[in-house]
Amino acid sequence: MTLRCLGTGSKGNCYLLSSESETLILDCGIPIKDIKKGLNWDVSRIAGVIVTHAHKDHSLAIEDFRRMGIPVFAPYEDKTPMNFRGMAGLTVQAFDLTDLQGKWTHTNADGTECPCYGFLISHPDMGKLLYITDTELVKWRFKDINHILISCNYQSKYIDGDEAKKNHVLRGHMELNTVKEFVKANNSNALRSVILCHMSRNNADPMECVAEIRKVAPQAYLDYARAGESYELKGCCPF
């Protein structure tokens, strides 16, 4: 299977997870015309759309897909996580991105909590993929994960400016060292790739972040997401 990035970061997030015949869309925070263009205008191959949370940089096109009759899995609306089955052989399990006290770590502009979910996606052609974004931490641990697509929003050493800006960056986003500890805690011989996403343009150096994650997962393929790039997600069997 392949993972293609159509958009990442505050301007909009959208990824296409594709088999030979079907595509699952991970977040839809860019205009629907850009998503259709990324699919070469073949919307018939869309098996479903999964959305992490309500902020427009992740959910902009959600109603467009609903009007098209395409299944949408948005657990933050349903209040309770549930499983989703889209393309043949694929399963998606949502998990809440809350702290140990059950409080959502992502916030809205006014400081109120923003329900946000991560997804464990399984398919025979790639094994298990974690998609995690817009959270300060991940309290969950997973066994035999093959691929991780995870937000690495900022590095603390690059944060400067007034307190308002700092709070906006720090609230509900993951710092490099937190990402590094999560990858380390969930690393195993099964881990094949780690793709870093949703990076702040001004507060993170992509290559530095990749280099740091490589220290705890040297056996895995490491890269950072950028619009227009595709990544091959190989199965759990050896190369």
Q: What is the pLDDT of residues 16-44, one digit of tens each?
A: 999 988 999 999 999 999 999 999 999 99
* The token pair that represents 117 in the structure block: 């979910």
Judge residue 82's burial from the number of C-beta atoms within 10 Å of its C-beta, 0-12 exposed, 13-18 middle, 19 or more buried.
Answer: exposed
Q: Once rounded to an integer, what is the mean pLDDT over residues 119-126?
A: 94
Q: How confident is the model at residue 234 (pLDDT cuts 50, 70, 90)?
A: confident
Q: Which residues contact 51 (CB under 8 A, 6 or more apart)?
A: 27, 28, 58, 59, 62, 72, 73, 74, 76
* Confidence at residue 158, expressed as pLDDT on a 0 to 100 scale: 87
Q: Are 130 and 150 in contact (CB under 8 A)?
A: yes
Token readout for 143 is 């066994």
Torsion of CA 162, 168, 169, 173, to 10 degrees: 160
Residue 238: is it exposed, middle or buried by C-beta count within 10 angstroms (0-12/13-18/19+)? Answer: exposed
Q: How many CA atoms lie within 13 A of 164 on its CB side?
A: 2
CA distance 2 to 113: 33
Interval 125-163: pLDDT, tens? 999 999 999 999 999 999 999 999 999 999 999 887 665
Neighbouring-strand partners of residue 95: 118
Report the relative pairing of strands 117-123 and 127-132 from DSSP bridges: antiparallel
- In the predicted structure, residue 236 carries a pLDDT above the cut 60: no
Element (H, E) at 170: helix 163-170
Q: What is the 3-state secondary structure (H, E, C) of 131-145?
A: EECCCCCCCCCCCCC
Task: Please give the pLDDT value at position 238.
Answer: 41
Q: What percent of the chain is modeled with pLDDT above 70?
A: 90
Residue 68 DSSP one-character state: T
pLDDT range class, residue 164, cuts 50, 70, 90 = low
Q: Across-strand partners of 118?
A: 95
What pLDDT, in 10s, does the model give residues 34-77?
999 999 999 999 999 999 999 999 999 999 999 999 999 999 99
% the chain with pLDDT above 90: 80
Q: What is the pLDDT of residue 239?
A: 36
Instruction: Give the CB-side neighbour count of residue 1, counting CA atoms within 13 A.
Output: 29
pLDDT band at 117 (very low <50, low <70, confident <90, very high): very high
Rounded to whole angstroms, what are the CA distances from 46 to 17, 157, 164, 226?
10, 41, 40, 22
